[in-house]
A = this chain, B = another copy of it.
Amino acid sequence: MPEITFQPGGKSVVVPEGTLLLDAAAKAGILIDTPCGAQGRCGRCVVRVESGEVSHRENPHLSPKQLQEGWVLACVARIKNDLVLGVPPRKEREKVVEERAGTKTAASVQCDWPRYPALRQVFLELPPPSLDDAFTDVDRLQRVLSKEHSIERLYIELPLLQRLAQTLRQSKWQVTLTLDMYDRGGEARLIDIQPGKTEGPLFAIAVDIGTTNVVMDLVDIRSGRTIERVSTRNKQISRGEDVISRIVYSEKGGLAELQRLVVEAINDLLKELSQKHNFDTKQVYQMVTASNTTMTHLFLGLPPRSIREEPYVPTASRFPVVTAAQVGVNINPLASIYCLPAVAAYVGGDITSGVLASCLFKTDKLTLFMDVGTNGEIVLGTSEWMTTCACSAGPAFEGAGVRNGMRATTGAIEEVRINSKTLEPTLEVIGGVLPRGICGSGMITALAEMLVTGVIDRSGRIKAPYVQEVMGESSRVRRGDHGAEYVLAWAAESDSGQDIVLTEVDINNLIRTKAAIYAGMAVMARNLGINLTDIEEVLIGGAFGQHIDIEEAIQIGLLPDLPWERFKFLGNTSLWGAYNVLLSKHARDKVEEIAGKMTYMELITDNSFMNELMAAMFLPHTDIDQFPTVKAALEKVGAAKTS
């Protein structure tokens, strides 16, 4: 019989050929967690074959590279002959799970924009005027700019013109000009003039103004590097959690207040950065923002009312370049602020920015870009064409409409594994603390696990009798205020000292949300004569998207059933696009082109949307044949359960 040695430690046991590695480990007294109940689903039981051979190596949770390195799942692989197995500590095993197929970390997409920032700083040494060379101060600047920098037209803002003469003379005709090359057609706009040669970073900021969070990159235009990323709450939250409630608040006279609140959040971040890196915020000379259409309207003080009223027409989708002074952002008052263009009321600058950052616009592959936030915006296309829609998915994944829902911060349950045999859950909590609630990624995994383990049926109803049968006295399913509910964490295990549950109402909300997104994709694909299975690449943007587990998102029918390698998580594409625009005129041209090129599809006027939505209100879908891998998994589970 083969002998199995476990490292580190060197313990060894002898077991029959064909024994599961998990069982061999147990025999050696080594405990390996199996949150899914040793079903090969969660991937947490990875171990590494250091020598010898095993059978049943393959598992979708392992990438080819990981297999190559010797990783196997202990709950799946079986012993063939003598083995040396590495059992790394839990932390390391989790890392392996996260690296699985490379999908859970943001893919690095590089569009390789040629460096061509709108912001430039040039040092000029001017010849002092004389009777033989009596050019005006402005013409003197212009002459050298033209000769040494090929800048033919200079627009000087009045406040700078008013101090030009003195600055030139006091600095002995040696000055550094800060120029915006790009806001007034072919004219370079002078934003600042400083005596002598200015060294050090040339600051600009890229800002993702989210409904919930404001995230800011401090960028050094000279080096092209992001110095630091900081984020804070969008202070508007105190006046409404989602865009609709803010629009309503603005209609009641709150527009100016909302404008002020988001600017305050931005100014707080600026203060934080300036204190940390010891600079004056007046030295920040440009700002590019990406945000949804409502947030852009509120930031610029544009009334958003018509965004929520049929026919959903915003004031603008392309916004005038404004100066910081005009909106109150505490950077250089003459610095320009460029808001990335939107496409429609519910497809904003965050999406055009995402398309820019994702390089969708230059791919040959049929690509789906999605940003799963409150709305669920979708773009389908190639470099040749792009169609977009917004699914009005609702904010369930952001915690609203879910009893113990919360955002993905410390204390949020971000992953749930349910043991198929015991139906007991294992939780991952952000920050490793006692749980306070459950966030979007936690909800997806909970739903998928409940489905696969038979806690809920495909319509989302909790199968109370079955759970009762398995769990007996300690059943986690019970009747609560909102009907049946599953207890994720008992009061004693929770931060608040109260049970954390997922109710049938919560589950219905989540199903509605995922159904809206899937229906949007389905309608768009059909209208374009495309099969969802034809999609060659799925790019998932947005902060939330980054934490989705693909397998489980497919299992609940949020994502189409495609091979996992077609999915890529891109992280905060909204901010990444804004950063690109700071660094390259070409990126800015491109995002304007993208906004102009995208065809907006209004789902509300599409008769088939409601049908698709109803059909998608099942797990994963009424037509399970659209999800063959899920069908297979459920059949296997069903077979296992009945065996």
Chain A residues within CB distance 8 Å of chain B: 129-140, 155-158, 161-166, 169, 184-187, 300-303, 305-306, 310-320, 322, 326-327, 344-345, 600, 602, 604-605
Q: A158-B322, A302-B162, A315-B164 are in contact. Are A344 and B137 (CB under 8 A)?
A: no
A602: which B residues are within 8 A, CB to CB? 131, 134
A605 partner, pick from B131, B310, B604, beta carbons under 8 A: B131
A161 and B310 contact, CB distance less than 8 A: no
A289 CB → nearest B CB, Å: 15
A303 and B166 contact, CB distance less than 8 A: yes
A136 and B314 contact, CB distance less than 8 A: yes
Q: A131-B604, A301-B162, A303-B162 are in contact. Are A138 and B313 (CB under 8 A)?
A: no
- Roughly how many angstroms separate A137 CA and B315 CA in the complex, as a whole number? 5
- Roughly how many angstroms separate A476 CA and B367 CA in the complex, as a whole number? 103
- Roughly how many angstroms separate A131 CA and B140 CA in the complex, as a whole number? 55
A605: which B residues are within 8 A, CB to CB? 131-132
A301 CB → nearest B CB, Å: 5
Q: A314-B137, A604-B131 are in contact. Are A301 and B165 (CB under 8 A)?
A: no
26 cross-chain CB contacts under 8 A:
A131-B310, A131-B311, A131-B312, A131-B604, A132-B605, A134-B311, A134-B345, A136-B314, A137-B315, A138-B318, A139-B316, A140-B313, A155-B320, A156-B316, A158-B300, A158-B327, A161-B315, A161-B319, A162-B300, A162-B301, A162-B302, A163-B303, A165-B302, A184-B184, A185-B185, A185-B186
- Roughly how many angstroms separate A169 CA and B315 CA in the complex, as a whole number? 11
- Roughly how many angstroms separate A158 CA and B321 CA in the complex, as a whole number? 9
Known A156-B320, A163-B303, A164-B302; further 11 A-B contacts with Cβ < 8 A: A129-B311, A131-B312, A131-B605, A134-B345, A135-B313, A137-B316, A139-B316, A139-B317, A162-B300, A162-B303, A185-B187
Q: A158-B300, A301-B162, A602-B131 are in contact. Are A136 and B320 (CB under 8 A)?
A: no
B134 and A313 contact, CB distance less than 8 A: yes
Q: A301-B158, A322-B158, A604-B131 are in contact. Are A138 and B316 (CB under 8 A)?
A: yes
B317 and A136 contact, CB distance less than 8 A: yes
A393 CB → nearest B CB, Å: 20
Which interface residue of A137, A186, A316, A605 has the most chain B CB atoms within 10 A?
A316
A126 CB → nearest B CB, Å: 11
- Roughly how many angstroms separate A230 CA and B602 CA in the complex, as a whole number? 58
A101 CB → nearest B CB, Å: 40
Q: A313-B137, A317-B138 are in contact. Are A303 and B165 (CB under 8 A)?
A: yes
A305: which B residues are within 8 A, CB to CB? 165
A311: which B residues are within 8 A, CB to CB? 129-131, 133-134
- Roughly how many angstroms separate A486 CA and B78 CA in the complex, as a whole number? 130
A158 and B303 contact, CB distance less than 8 A: no
A27 CB → nearest B CB, Å: 67
Residue of B nearest to A190 (CB): B320
- Roughly how many angstroms separate A302 CA and B155 CA in the complex, as a whole number? 15
- Roughly how many angstroms separate A42 CA and B267 CA in the complex, as a whole number? 78
A157 and B320 contact, CB distance less than 8 A: yes
A477 CB → nearest B CB, Å: 44
B313 and A129 contact, CB distance less than 8 A: yes
A135: which B residues are within 8 A, CB to CB? 313
A313: which B residues are within 8 A, CB to CB? 129, 134-137, 140
A163: which B residues are within 8 A, CB to CB? 303
A515 CB → nearest B CB, Å: 22
A132: which B residues are within 8 A, CB to CB? 605
A322: which B residues are within 8 A, CB to CB? 158
Which interface residue of A155, A310, A315, A322 has the most chain B CB atoms within 10 A?
A315
Residue of B nearest to A139 (CB): B317
A327: which B residues are within 8 A, CB to CB? 158
Q: Return the 6 tightest CB-CB contacts between A and B, nearest first.
A: A185-B185, A138-B316, A129-B313, A131-B311, A131-B605, A165-B315
- Roughly how many angstroms separate A161 CA and B314 CA in the complex, as a whole number? 11
A145 CB → nearest B CB, Å: 14
B185 and A138 contact, CB distance less than 8 A: no
- Roughly how many angstroms separate A310 CA and B128 CA in the complex, as a whole number? 12
Q: A300-B162, A320-B158 are in contact. Are A344 and B312 (CB under 8 A)?
A: no
- Roughly how many angstroms separate A399 CA and B327 CA in the complex, as a whole number? 51
- Roughly how many angstroms separate A85 CA and B218 CA in the complex, as a whole number? 94
A266 CB → nearest B CB, Å: 17
Q: A129-B313, A315-B164 are in contact. Are A158 and B306 (CB under 8 A)?
A: no
A591 CB → nearest B CB, Å: 17
A320 and B137 contact, CB distance less than 8 A: no
Which interface residue of A137, A161, A187, A314 has the most chain B CB atoms within 10 A?
A161
- Roughly how many angstroms separate A133 CA and B605 CA in the complex, as a whole number? 12
Residue of B nearest to A164 (CB): B315
- Roughly how many angstroms separate A131 CA and B162 CA in the complex, as a whole number? 50
A186: which B residues are within 8 A, CB to CB? 185
A315 partner, pick from B138, B157, B306, beta carbons under 8 A: B138
Residue of B nearest to A317 (CB): B136
- Roughly how many angstroms separate A5 CA and B364 CA in the complex, as a whole number? 108
Residue of B nearest to A141 (CB): B316
A388 CB → nearest B CB, Å: 13
Residue of B nearest to A310 (CB): B131
A133: which B residues are within 8 A, CB to CB? 311
A298 CB → nearest B CB, Å: 11
A157: which B residues are within 8 A, CB to CB? 320
A156: which B residues are within 8 A, CB to CB? 316, 320
Residue of B nearest to A166 (CB): B303
A310: which B residues are within 8 A, CB to CB? 131
A43 CB → nearest B CB, Å: 46
A161 and B302 contact, CB distance less than 8 A: yes
